[in-house]
Amino acid sequence: MSDVQSRDWQLEQQRVNLVVNEIDKKVSKLTQNAGKVSSDVLEIRKTFWEDVTVNMDDPDDAIETAASIKQQAEFLSERERTHKQLDHHLKTLARLKYSPYFGRIDFWEEGEKSADQVYLGIASFMDEQDENFLIYDWRAPISSLYYDYSPGPAKYKTLDGNIEGEMELKRQFIIRGSEIKGMFDTGVTIGDEMLQEVLGNNASTQMKSIVATIQREQNQIIRNERSKLLIVQGVAGSGKTSAALQRVAYLLYRYRDTLKSENIMLFSPNPMFNSYVATVLPELGEENMQQATFMEYLNHRLDRDFVAQDSFSQMEYLLNGKEDELYTTRVAGIRYKASLDFKKLIDQYASSLSKHGLLFKDLSFRGDVLFSKNEIHDYFYSLDESFSISNRMELVKEWLLKELKRVVRRERSQSWVEEEIQFLEKEDYLEAFKKMQEKNRFSDNTFDDFEQEQKLLAQMVLKEKFRPLFNRVKRLKFIDKSGIYSHLFEQDWRSVEGLPPEWGNICNETVKRLNKLEIPYEDATPYVYLQDLIEGRKSNTAIRHIFIDEAQDYSPFQFAFIQLLFPYSKMTMLGDFNQAIFSGATGSATVLTDLDLRGEEVETFVLTKTYRSTREIVEFTSGLIDGGGKIEPFNRKGRKPVIERTTRTRINHLILEKMKEYLNEGHRTIAVICRTAAESKLVFEALKSEVPVYLIEKGTVSYEKGILVIPSYLAKGIEFDAVILYDCSEYKRESERKLFYTVCTRAMHELYMYATGEISPLLNLVSMDAYELK
Ligand SMILES: Nc1ncnc2c1ncn2[C@@H]1O[C@H](COP(=O)(O)OP(=O)(O)OP(=O)(O)O)[C@@H](O)[C@H]1O
């Protein structure tokens, strides 16, 4: 380090000390406040009832009492809110104290007398007088300079227009425990040392925030505010998920008065992914958005009577299936049911249902049919045809509820009710007694107590026994939805455009599965879509922004469906068509490639630079796919990927040795990636007595550091220090190219592949120099 550099370092450390000192002062002030608020809360809770006037003597007093309770409750919740805010603020200050900032820019704004020093951290922090920013939030308008420019002319956008000027210095810091551990001036040093440092580290079981090193092209995505629909096509490891999460943090800051974390939803590829990304936002001082897999969402919309298949079981079938006629039919079915043609067919079907063809279920009580399916059918079709199906269903519901109430009244005098009264619990009698006392409170009428009590008990029995039936009607369970969906495949659609040649077989197979109460994954979305057309759409208006990660796994049909579900939502879709493993296996359309999404409100970004893997791994993986030559690796050196030939009998032993070697080298997450779940299980069984290993299955929600065995399709979106591919000879079909690419791109530092048979033909285009063959 030169003298100048060392003097700069000292000066910067002095500033860090000064800022930390200010933070300490603020912390002690807030802690005092928090203590006061917390004792207020305790006190209010303790004396809650002393401070309200409770008087129920007459209606006016009762109203006054209610108002008094409400006032006291509001006071309590205001104090609790303040306490939560203070707590949140204190946590952010603790993070700032540990690492106050990661960047500095000196910006000379046009027309000003001198340059401003702007220090960037995860949150803003002002001096004691609240006059100057000691730290700027990385999301503040001026902070975008740091991400968008090198020293030289620069500008940034504010609500009042562009601010232009000259950036004189751009400095990056690594500060840990209030101490500067690293400091680089960009423009002086060559290459991005900070990024080298970050990317060279070991993989963690949880993703990290990237605010200190966001790249310019990622920043465009993070800060985009114009588009209603933002599409990001980014190569494996280009930071799509990272950009998505920092974008959530950005939006929460930018629209902090109107947008809360519960208004944002992320559709993620698998349950484990949720825990993988769970710490990024809290690290940035924000709460996590809502998160679900698309299948979780569908499951919550599907009736419990069905076993709905998920995308992973479908994938297992595709990977394991014998390529016979049944397989061809299934693949053709998956492809067609992913398309907008099928959506159109359903729309056509629904409009025919408006006139005839809806199916209903009998509503029975104690073994007797109260309302037959035909009766309900006739009532439905007697209603005005100009009303939508869903509006008419509402009317049917109201009619049934009214009729049911009539039935309840009729049943009151039946002998079964009296019999059931005998079986009531003691608590029920007590409740009836209490109710009766309440009723008699303002009268002296007690001579018909017994009769009244019997009446109340009968009501209780009837309410209890009829409740399931009322609930069925309220939830529209009188509609035979599966019958209706099934019936779709029994109609003559030959005149309709776009039907696949295998349509006849597809219909037979679909009906067979539905009769067994199974919903194949490819039918789940169309089924719920049709259900919505019949019952009325349950769109979600609270969600204002949707993020779809791994968007290439969504079909055009699913995408159209999501758009209908969240009509007031902006959307950010992130994906990579080279990792479209589901559609890759079937040749189906994917939303990323096949949907013609254009228009003023749609913006597309392409990311070609990849950060995850070493240059050597990227040189190998980019040879696996068409157009891979455009992928730009970040220049981080490592070993070449290796393919080692072996036999089925030796492979487990070799894997074991390799794992030990990687552990000794300091790698912390090592994944043995197998093709299928069954293969993963076998490998896990073979290894578990030798080393501690985890088996990842589709329901796994989190994983630990160490060695894990995982099926190919569950490794999506996640990364590991070292990837050992169980048997790369098994990836041989053209339809598995994308899967092969996806698993290899999970590796950050090491990629080692075993081959127990022929070297995969999918390696044809990979240069022999890009890997070592043993
Ligand atoms: N600007 C950045 N600074 C530091 N690390 C980065 C940056 N961008 C990406 N990374 C790192 O690169 C890795 C890959 O990022 P991420 O998982 O977001 O990529 P992705 O495009 O979603 O990948 P995939 O499609 O393969 O799942 C992560 O370790 C992430 O932290």
Q: Cα–Cα–Cα angle for 327, 329, 333, nearest 5°?
A: 115
Q: Which of 271, 275, 210, 216 is nearest to 246 (CA)?
A: 210
Q: pLDDT tier at 307 (50, 70, 90 boundaries)?
A: confident
Whether 771 shows a pLDDT value over 80: the answer reads yes
Q: pLDDT tier at 720 (50, 70, 90 boundaries)?
A: very high
Ligand 1 mean position, distance from CA 666 (Å)? 21
Indicate the SS3 state at residue 426: helix
Sequence-ordered list of residues with C-beta below 8 angstroms from that of 639, at least 6 positions apart, any chain: 614, 616, 750
Helices (H) and strands (E) in the chain, counts: 27, 26
pTM score, whole prediction = 0.87
pLDDT number for residue 439: 64
* 578 in contact with ligand 1, CB cutoff 6 A: no
Structure tokens at 465: 């026994």
Q: pLDDT tier at 40 (50, 70, 90 boundaries)?
A: confident
Task: Report the alpha-carbon distance of residue 739 to residue 722 in Å, rounded.
Answer: 18
pLDDT number for residue 160: 86
pLDDT number for residue 585: 66
Tens digits of per-residue pLDDT, 88-140? 889 999 999 999 999 999 999 998 999 999 999 999 999 988 889 999 999 99
Distances, alpha carbon 515 to alpha carbons 300, 476, 490, 518, 522, in Å? 21, 21, 13, 7, 16
Q: pLDDT tier at 409 (50, 70, 90 boundaries)?
A: confident
Tens digits of per-residue pLDDT, 440-483? 655 555 556 666 777 777 777 778 887 888 899 999 999 999 89
pLDDT number for residue 593: 67
pLDDT number for residue 441: 54
Choose the weakest-confidence range: 147-151, 280-284, 411-415, 529-533: 411-415
Q: What is the mean pLDDT of residues 310-328?
A: 82
pLDDT number for residue 742: 94
Ligand 1 mean position, distance from CA 615 (Å)? 15
Task: Report the alpha-carbon distance of residue 693 to residue 436 in Å, rounded.
Answer: 64
CA 708 to centroid of chain Cα atoms:
23
pLDDT number for residue 601: 80
**Residue whose CA lies nearest to ligand 1 atom number 13:** 612
Ligand 1 mean position, distance from CA 210 (Å)? 9
Tens digits of per-residue pLDDT, 554-605? 988 999 999 899 988 999 999 998 898 877 666 676 777 666 666 668 888 9
Tens digits of per-residue pLDDT, 177-235? 999 998 888 865 445 777 887 787 776 777 888 888 889 899 999 999 888 999 999 99
* 633 in contact with ligand 1, CB cutoff 6 A: no
- Could you identify the atom of ligand 1 that is nearest to the CA of residue 218? 1
Structure tokens at 475: 């939830």
Ligand 1 mean position, distance from CA 208 (Å)? 9
Task: Report the alpha-carbon distance of residue 379 to residue 396 in Å, rounded.
Answer: 7
* 215 in contact with ligand 1, CB cutoff 6 A: yes
- Could you identify the atom of ligand 1 that is nearest to the CA of residue 208? 31
Tens digits of per-residue pLDDT, 345-394? 999 999 999 999 999 999 888 888 888 999 999 999 999 989 999 999 99
pLDDT number for residue 55: 65
Ligand 1 mean position, distance from CA 102 (Å)? 19
Q: Which of 481, 465, 459 is nearest to 412 (CA)?
A: 459
Q: Cα–Cα–Cα angle for 179, 183, 188, nearest 5°?
A: 170
Task: Report the alpha-carbon distance of residue 472 to residue 363 in Å, rounded.
Answer: 9
* 240 in contact with ligand 1, CB cutoff 6 A: yes
Task: Report the alpha-carbon distance of residue 592 to residue 457 in Å, rounded.
Answer: 62
* 613 in contact with ligand 1, CB cutoff 6 A: no
Burial 279-297 (b: 16+ CB within 10 A, else e): bbbebbbbebbebbbbbeb
Strands 518-519, 747-755: pairing is unpaired
Indicate the SS3 state at residue 371: strand
Burial 238-271 (b: 16+ CB within 10 A, else e): bbbbbbbbbbbbbbbbeeeeebebebbbbbbbbb
Q: pLDDT tier at 337 (50, 70, 90 boundaries)?
A: very high
**Residue whose CA lies nearest to ligand 1 atom number 23:** 237
Average pLDDT of every residue of the chain? 87
* 266 in contact with ligand 1, CB cutoff 6 A: no
Whether 48 shows a pLDDT value over 80: the answer reads no
The residue to mutate among 210, 609, 720, having the most atoms of ligand 1 within 8 angstroms of its beta carbon, is: 210
For the chain, the farthest-separated pair of C-alpha atoms sits apart, in whole angstroms, at 104
- Could you identify the atom of ligand 1 that is nearest to the CA of residue 215? 1
Whether 317 shows a pLDDT value over 70: the answer reads yes
Tens digits of per-residue pLDDT, 231-263? 999 999 999 999 999 999 999 999 999 999 999
Task: Report the alpha-carbon distance of residue 759 to residue 774 in Å, rounded.
Answer: 11
* 623 in contact with ligand 1, CB cutoff 6 A: no
Distances, alpha carbon 11 to alpha carbons 18, 120, 185, in Å? 11, 17, 15
Detail the residues annotated as belonging to a binding site for ATP: 234-241
Ligand 1 mean position, distance from CA 558 (Å)? 26
Choose the weakest-confidence range: 283-292, 396-405, 411-420: 411-420
- Could you identify the atom of ligand 1 that is nearest to the CA of residue 576? 25
Whether 612 shows a pLDDT value over 90: the answer reads yes
pLDDT number for residue 316: 87
* Contact present, 93 and 27 (Cβ < 8 Å): yes
pLDDT number for residue 51: 65
pLDDT number for residue 306: 78
Tens digits of per-residue pLDDT, 640-693? 999 999 998 899 999 999 999 999 998 989 999 999 999 999 999 999 888 889
Token look-up 């050992």 returns 724
Edge-to-edge order in the sheet of strand 290-293? 290-293, 264-268, 545-548, 570-575, 229-234, 602-607
